[in-house]
Structure 1
Amino acid sequence: MPVYSMTGYASALGQPPQNPDQVPAPQLAVELRSVNGRFLDLSLRLPDELRHLEPPIRDAIAQGIRRGKVELRIAAGREGDHALPRLNPGTLDQLAELQSQLRARFPSASPFAVQELLHWCRQGSTQPAWDDGWLLKLVQQCVDGLREARAREGDRLTLILLDKIAQLRVLAERAEPLVPAVVQRHQERFLQRWQEALNQAGALAHAELSEAARERALSEAAAHAIRIDVAEELARLRAHLDEIEAQLRKGGELGKRLDFLIQELHREANTLGSKSTALELSAISVDMKVLIEQMREQVQNIE
């Protein structure tokens, strides 16, 4: 399944079926645009004569779009200001009869001007009849177009995220060989400082106390090594990266799951930085957090 972005735009333009017994209906333009959102938030802008179609239009959108702030606009084409109206013989007969009555009552009255006649023909035009089934098909066509646009944007987001995942794997590989050396270095430093503290306290004068102190120092050094060891954090970070990559290749509605996994990635990178007592690991932790934040921004746009 594709990965869908919540950002997209689509439009559809169509001419309703013409009925020679009715006023020809103008073209209809349907526009759909969407941006990211936690839930599905629909906003419809319809002509008054199409308000009765709001429930089926909402259903058509909800079946194809799961999340995002979606706005639909339907607009009917209008004749330009200088376009001639479609003359209705019945309206012309009524205007001719009205003019005859006026001239009979007011002989000096001026006859209707052409501009006035055209104005009344426009005003006298009846509302065209809309084909509801045809209109819903046009809306569905637009929904399908929006899904295709969101899928294309989703493909782009997937490539960006996979690239960030690859960069994070490189950083994890750089950090892994540093961990044993960092742990050993800090163990040695810890024991050295412990020995210096004993020397200053004069504890070396007593052999038994010195031996006990050394055992205690080794125990404390081992505990300290466990506290600063980030091997588990790196292992969990790799596991989260594997899961994110698997979800992206699987596709579907995965935005919320990815958002949770991004939080877990950020937690591991933070722990790596807080445990680190080496400049190299601290720099890697900062680079990881920058990449993870960039991933979070992209994941917020995925359905």
Structure 2
Amino acid sequence: MTGYASAQHGSSAEAGEASSRNVRLGLEIRSVNSRFLDLTFRLPDELRAQEPALRTLLTARLKRGKVEVRAAIDQDASASLPQPSPALLQRMVSLQDQVQAWLPDAKGLSVADALRLCGQGQSSAVDWSEIAPALAEQAVGELIAAREREGKRLAQMLLDRTKQLRTLAGQAGPLVPQLVEQQRQRFLERWQEAMGLTEGQVTPEAAQDRALSEATAFAIRIDVAEEITRLSSHLDEVDRLIKKGGEIGKRLDFLIQEMHREANTLGSKSAALELTRISVDMKVLIEQMREQVQNIE
């Protein structure tokens, strides 16, 4: 199923003995349709170590879908530059003097170098091992809620299609006896014409028996009662599964295949344009259901 969720966390990481800067973690989870679970992570270097925990969490909560997890670490622009403590600056000067004592040609530290070194100390002060999984748990919960809302819409669509299929099946049933009766009359007319050509060599009883025999064979050949009964049974099971809920995607997929087979057979037995139209309309509705069933867990 498709779905989107995001979560943010604001943290404060202290630098040395002085002030702190605000660090924010933003996490997004996107899910699109897929028959299997396919996880993709796009994480900054600071969160690479958290990928196994995030993968375990998603695998436990999700069953199907192409899921992409994106995370970004951001820092407030107003506090983007660290404020080094006097003790830290004194330590840098002492180390610089020691290096230049051995390497007289070495350049001294610039302001940018000092700020960068102080910033490295700050970035390592945030422990993401608890923050990232908790944030992911929140985002996954929102994603599941979004997918459940979509699932309700899909369920309503599927129930609407099953209702239309029942209507078509109800239209197909009465057509068969009408076709058989029409064909029986045609056979009788043809045999009566044949009797006229044979000048009484065939008795009326024999002609009528032959016509009825042909009509019976025709009725057996075009009878779709069995297909309609099986189709109705599949529709009942689809309705039951949708109302029950849970992990029903694969079972619905199997039922859709069986329904398509019955609609095909009904079309192959068609002896009238009306039955052909009903078969085509059924297959269109079933194909619409198949496309959406692929998105259901």
Q: Report the TM-score when normalising by structure 1.
A: 0.82
- Residue 27 of structure 1 corresponds to 24
The gaps in structure 2 that reach 5 residues or longer are 102-106
Give the partner amino acid of 1:58: R
Distance 1:123 1:130 in 2: 14
- Residue 135 of structure 1 corresponds to 132
Distance 1:276 1:126 in 2: 74
Which stretch shows the higher mean deviation, 130-139 or 87-96?
Answer: 87-96
Q: How many angstroms does 1:46 deviate by?
A: 2.4
Q: Do the aligned partners of 1:18 and 1:25 also contact (CA within 8 Å) in 2? A: yes
- Residue 10 of structure 1 corresponds to 5
The gaps in structure 1 that reach 5 residues or longer are 1-5, 105-109
Tell whether 2:232 aligns with 1:235.
no
Q: Do the aligned partners of 1:269 and 1:288 also contact (CA within 8 Å) in 2? A: yes
Q: Which of 79, 85, 90 is residue 81 of structure 2 equivalent to? A: 85
Tell whether 2:172 aligns with 1:154.
no
Q: Quick one: structure 1 residues 92 and 228, their matched pair in 2 at CA, closer, same or farther if it must change by over 3 Å?
A: same
Q: Do the aligned partners of 2:13 and 2:123 also contact (CA within 8 Å) in 1? A: no
Q: Which of 248, 254, 272 is residue 266 of structure 2 equivalent to? A: 272
Q: Do the aligned partners of 2:4 and 2:143 also contact (CA within 8 Å) in 1? A: yes
Q: CA RMSD in A?
A: 3.3
Q: Quick one: structure 1 residues 86 and 190, their matched pair in 2 at CA, closer, same or farther if it must change by over 3 Å?
A: farther
If each structure's strand is expressed as a fraction of its own residues, which one has the higher value? 2
Q: Do the aligned partners of 2:32 and 2:66 also contact (CA within 8 Å) in 1? A: yes
Distance 1:72 1:136 in 2: 12
Q: Which of 278, 284, 290 is residue 290 of structure 1 equivalent to? A: 284
- Residue 71 of structure 1 corresponds to 68
- Residue 201 of structure 2 corresponds to 206
Distance 2:44 2:167 in 1: 56
Tell whether 2:295 aligns with 1:301.
yes
Q: Deviations over 1:26-50 (max 9, x none)?
A: 2111111112222211112223333
Q: Quick one: structure 1 residues 60 and 102, their matched pair in 2 at CA, closer, same or farther if it must change by over 3 Å?
A: closer
Give the partner amino acid of 1:88: P
Q: Which of 24, 42, 45 is residue 45 of structure 1 equivalent to? A: 42
Give the partner amino acid of 1:72: V
Q: Helix, strand or coil: the match of 2:23?
A: coil
Which stretch shows the higher mean deviation, 86-95 or 173-182?
Answer: 86-95
Q: Deviations over 1:37-82 (max 9, x none)?
A: 22211112223333332222211111110111111122211454x8
Q: Quick one: structure 1 residues 271 and 191, their matched pair in 2 at CA, closer, same or farther if it must change by over 3 Å?
A: farther
Q: Do the aligned partners of 2:29 and 2:70 also contact (CA within 8 Å) in 1? A: yes
Tell whether 2:253 aligns with 1:259.
yes
Q: Which of 185, 190, 209 is residue 188 of structure 1 equivalent to? A: 185
Distance 2:285 2:230 in 1: 17
Q: Do the aligned partners of 1:191 and 1:221 also contact (CA within 8 Å) in 2? A: no
Distance 1:75 1:198 in 2: 91
Q: Deviations over 1:95-138 (max 9, x none)?
A: 5557889999xxxxx99876665455445645233141232111
Distance 2:123 2:285 in 1: 61
Q: Do the aligned partners of 1:88 and 1:125 also contact (CA within 8 Å) in 2? A: no
Q: Report the TM-score when normalising by structure 2.
A: 0.83
Q: How many angstroms does 1:94 deviate by?
A: 4.3
Tell me which of the two structures has the higher relative contact order, counting C-alpha pairs closer than 8 angstroms and 6 or more residues apart: 1
Give the partner amino acid of 2:7: A
- Residue 244 of structure 1 corresponds to 238
Q: How many angstroms does 1:188 deviate by?
A: 2.6
